[in-house]
Amino acid sequence: MTHRTLHARRPLVAAIALTLGAAAAAAAAEPTPAAAEQRDPAAASGPLRVAVAPLASIVAWTGDRPTGAMIEVWADLAKRLDVGSEFVRVNTFLDLMKAVQDHTADVALGPLAITEEREKVLDLTHPIFHSGMRIAVRQRNEGGFLSAIRSMLSWKLLGLVGIVIAAALVSGHLLWWFERRCNPRSFPPEYPRGVGEAMWWIACTTITGGCDDKHVDGPLGRILAFAWMVGSIGLLAAFTSVLTATMTAEQVSGQIHGPRDLAGRSVGCQAASVAVGAVRQRGGIPQEYLTIYDALDALQMGMVEAVVGEAETLMFVVTSSGRSDVRLIGPMFDSFDYGIALQNGSPLREGLNTAILRMREDGSLDRIREKWLGKHD
């Protein structure tokens, strides 16, 4: 090959090299699908997609925009991070978490409890608020003879009656033994008849304060009789108080008085909430519903025996929706913190955590909680 030929081909080779280099640079500059999916939402040109579901006291929809405690918290956080927001409305708590998992939203707002199970599929920020579980039951308005009889069959009341009968049986034998010789007219010497008369005297003295056709003459008999006269006052008071307390408790909350009573009971819960695990852990039978309103409707129709849910949400729904036949019982249990949900590996997490800590330090979180949820110790 001559020197002239080589000199003629040099421009062609240079052009090809320039073309290949430009193509490689363009390919390197174009993000792969995986890289595009993990891009920083805060650096994107559009606002952040914020998924929101109507969740009672935490979030509510008024017109075209949501309101509530978590919305005000997010507004403060977005201002501190200098990012825009585009609210995406979803219908249920389950849809709220799926929106982040499916990458149709960058952020999810709601009472999302921070748990180990959720941390496996979502990124959760530092705690926003502290809460726990409460129990709602249907108030019973039954009355009349059958309700009183059913209340009298409680184990506490039956135990008290058993103790009284045993004490009366022992005292009847002693009274007959002390009086059978000196007072045969009131307490005959014959064993079955004499003990029966003594038991009758004790029953009359306990209920009415005395027995007109019988009297006690012997010193030991009178000591025992005096003890029964004084003791009968306490027995009647104890019997009345236990009966009253039992009937009142049955009318208000049936057989469920706290978390321990959930075992073996059918309990309504909001689907995918931590209440499901709390009920199952205590031996209850959770029945999942899309919303807390659906669970309370099932309670009022007798489909479940109780409803377990987040304390603030349950309190707000029961008091604001006119459910006069539903009551909250027992203390708050299984306390937990809840935060904001993000996509797994979201770069927003570090910035949000820093902003949340600053809100806690300057009192913004306490101020928002008191404004929407009231002051708590």
Instruction: Report if residue 286 sits inside a domain.
Output: no
d(CA 78, CA 65): 16
Write the secondary structure of the chain as one string of H (helix), E (strand) and C (coil): CCHHHHHHHHHHHHHHHHHHHHHHHHHHHCCCHHHHHCCCHHHCCCCEEEEECCCCCCCEEECCEEECHHHHHHHHHHHHHCCCEEEEECCCHHHHHHHHHCCCCCEEEEEEECCHHHHCCCEECCCCEEEEEEEEEECCCCCCHHHHHHHHCCHHHHHHHHHHHHHHHHHHHHHHHHHCCCCCCCCCCCHHHHHHHHHHHHHHHHHHCCCCCCCCCCHHHHHHHHHHHHHHHHHHHHHHHHHHHHHHHHHHHCCCCCHHHHCCCEEEEECCCHHHHHHHHCCCEEEEECCHHHHHHHHHCCCCCEEEEEHHHHHHHHHHCCCCCEEEEEEEEEEEEEEEEECCCCCHHHHHHHHHHHHHHCCHHHHHHHHHHCCCC
Which residues lie below 8 Å from residue 174, measured CB to CB, with a gap of 6+?
Answer: 224
pLDDT for 167: 84
Joined tokens for residue 370: 């008191």
| Residue 372 CB partners (closer than 8 Å, separation 6+) | 57, 68, 69, 72
| Residue at 50 is within a domain | no
**pLDDT the model gives residue 35:** 36
Q: What is the CA radius of gyration of the chain?
A: 37
Alpha carbon distance 202, 168 (integer Å):
7
Is residue 316 assigned to a domain? no
Q: What is the pLDDT of residue 39?
A: 41
Range of the domain at 246: 145-253
CATH code for the domain in which residue 173 is found: 1.10.287.70
In a structure prediction context, what are the per-residue pLDDT tens digits for the chain, which is 377 residues long? 444 443 444 444 444 444 444 444 444 444 444 333 344 444 445 799 999 987 656 777 777 788 888 899 999 999 999 999 999 998 888 888 899 999 999 999 877 888 888 888 899 999 998 889 999 998 765 544 455 555 556 666 677 778 888 888 888 888 888 888 888 888 888 888 888 888 888 888 777 766 767 778 788 888 888 887 787 777 777 777 766 766 555 554 457 888 999 999 999 999 888 899 999 999 999 999 988 889 999 999 989 999 999 887 888 788 777 788 898 988 899 888 989 999 999 999 999 999 999 999 999 999 988 887 665 44
- Total count of domains within the chain: 1
What pLDDT is stored for residue 365 in this prediction?
92
pLDDT in tens, 189-242: 888 888 888 888 888 877 776 676 777 878 888 888 888 778 777 777 777 776
Residue 8 lies in a domain: no
Torsion of CA 212, 213, 217, 223, to 10 degrees: -50
Q: Look at residue 164 and tell me if it is in a domain.
A: yes
User: CA nearest 348: which of 130, 1, 62, 74?
Assistant: 74
Is 42 part of a structural domain of the chain? no
Task: Please give the pLDDT value at position 32.
Answer: 40
**For residue 12, what pLDDT is reported?**
44
The pLDDT of residue 210 is: 67
Please state, in angstroms and rounded to a whole number, the distance separating the CA atoms of residues 45 and 81: 15
Q: And the tokens for 184?
A: 């045969």
Q: Is residue 149 part of a domain?
A: yes
Is residue 237 included in any domain, yes or no? yes
pLDDT of residue 357: 96
